[in-house]
A and B are shown apart, each in its own frame.
Chain A
Amino acid sequence: MADVTVRVWRGNAQGGAFHEYRVPVEEGMVVLDVLHRIQAIHANDLALRWNCKAGKCGSCGAEVNGHPRLTCMTRMNIFTPGETITVAPMKTFPIIKDLVTDVSFNFQVAKKIPAFQSRPPDAPDGSWRMMQEDIDRVQEFRKCIECFLCQNVCHVIRDHEGKKQHFAGPRFFVRLAELEMHPLDTGTRTGLVKEFAGIGLCNITKCCTEVCPEHIRITDNAIIPLKERVVDEHYDPVVWLLRKVLGKR
């Protein structure tokens, strides 16, 4: 059993500081285990949010050595022996206490996205028919666990506070792509994607994809296809003309 030095940010909305703790670690531990050990040994008032400890609830996001990560999925053996580990709260969201942040911005955005609008049932019993190839693409988006690490790392939200009211963020581009590409959904959201969600503010630097613990290819499979759909609707004169001539939407 070796000891590890961990610097944990502690404080509240008014301010705070890094506190340094030294705790024993064992093989197989993750950063969340270390934080629990700090709670048990040194600081039983350390606030952190966690639930499943299996990378599925999305609660324990933090910045470990500056990288947005789920602490329950960050194994201690990725660090160099003797390295001091820094754990800080997600920078983008207001701090409540220690590692716990107020992520309600995301729920406010979620409320503004129109719900699924299904076409009429395909069969008299009220059911629908879909082929596997129809649904494969949107199933990737359903893997999202709403940990909001992508929202946290997105520089539009993180570094440009004034843009937050005009920008939904990567998690909600995933949601919009899921609805927009769903074979049963009849809603059209490209106007919403351009105006309310502000997709033009995204400069596709792919940090959201890099931090996603579910390995959703957010930029390639959600954001860029949405950008292309916005181009179809708003920037492509040939597509516009074809729609006029052929009378298609």
Chain B
Amino acid sequence: MAIEAVKHAGDRGAAPTALRKDAWWVQPALTVLGLGAFIVYSTWAAFQNAYYYADPYLSPFYSPCVAANCQHLTVQLVGSWWTWSPAFLILWAPGVFRLTCYYYRKAYYRSFWWAPPACAMPDARRGYDGETSFPLVFQNIHRYTFYLAVLFIVILTWDAILALRFPDGFGVGVGTLVLWVNVVLLALYTFSCHSCRHLCGGHVDIFSRAPFRYRIWHRLSMLNERHALFAWLSLTSVGLADLYVRLVAMGILRDVRLL
């Protein structure tokens, strides 16, 4: 029998600290890579201010296009004084929805904040206030960002419908499928949101007195179990949808007509 000495750990006795020897860092590292790649690509795409429309496809990063300098105007809300990329006028809304999302909070608190980096691993910082003080107390606005996200689902669905309207009439191209897959994944992510689940029925205590809200809550709860999956799938699809439209608009890819 061998005895290995360990350091004492102050007034809580000598319980050892981090004992995990598995690859606990893999998940935070993948999250940093995934979110980092998306942030870099989406910022670059927003700054481009070009190649975001390839008739009849509009990139989701630029939809709705609301500035007078748009290549494909959805509705003009901002005049010609706006000379920057129209993406900046709208991208903040889905951005804040994801920033305050309960799933992404878990992802970035672990991966970027290291609070904690993994279960049973120590926090990186000594001080901690959670979401009780500025600025993190504003995570509580998530339901308002959800309302905005629903508006975006309506607009992107309209874009996907317009993607069926080619110069020679009705048609379906690969881009049409790309935009439809994207809007379906975004809708699954948006409607599996925890705030949505609460607002649609979770706030009710006696479900038998609110059968309609119970049915909605019950179905949303099933979606909610896969919220993290939808978060990643929709993040990927929205990036790929922009990339597809961009490559077609640049003439690098030729959109194949299926119908």
User: Does A134 lie within 8 Å of B206, measured CB to CB?
Assistant: yes
Contact A235 B140 (CB under 8 A): yes
A67 cross-chain contacts in B, Cβ below 8 A: 20, 119-120
Chain B, 1-21, contact with A by CB distance < 8 Å: what is the 0/1 string?
A: 111111010001111111111
**B residues less than 8 Å from A220 (CB atoms):** 194, 224-225
A152 to B150, CA, bound (A): 38
Residue contact A203 to B13, C-beta cutoff 8 Å: no
Bound-complex Cα distance A225 to B199 (A): 10
Residues of A within 8 A of B109 (CB): 203-205
Place the interface of chain B in its size category.
35 or more
Given A204-B106, A224-B194: A131 and B207 within 8 A (CB)? yes
* Shortest Cβ gap from B131 to chain A (Å): 5
Closest to A20 in B: B2
- Chain A residue with Cβ nearest B130: A201
B window 1-44: CB within 8 A of A: 1-6, 8, 12-22
Least CB separation from A166: chain B residue:
B132
Residues of A202-218 whose CB lies within 8 A of B: 202-207, 210-211, 217
| Contacts across chains A and B counted by CB atoms under 8 Å | 177
Interface size grouping (class) on chain A:
35 or more
Closest A residue to B132 by beta carbon equals A200
- Flag if B16 contacts A9 (CB, 8 Å): yes
Residues of B within 8 A of A205 (CB): 106, 109-110, 115-116, 119
Of the candidates B102, B110, B129, B203, which one forms a contact with A201 in the assembled complex, judged by CB atoms under 8 Å apart? B129
B128 within 8 A of A: yes
Q: A159-B128, A206-B106 are in contact. Are A133 and B14 (CB under 8 A)?
A: no
Q: Would you give 12 A-B contacts (Cβ < 8 Å), ordered by A?
A: A9-B6, A9-B14, A9-B15, A91-B17, A134-B207, A153-B120, A160-B123, A181-B205, A185-B205, A198-B132, A204-B109, A235-B140
- Partner-B contacts on A (CB < 8 A): 7, 9, 11-21, 42, 63, 65-68, 86, 88-91, 94-95, 101, 130-131, 133-134, 137, 153, 155-156, 158-161, 163, 180-183, 185, 198, 200-207, 210-211, 217, 219-220, 224-225, 227-232, 235-236
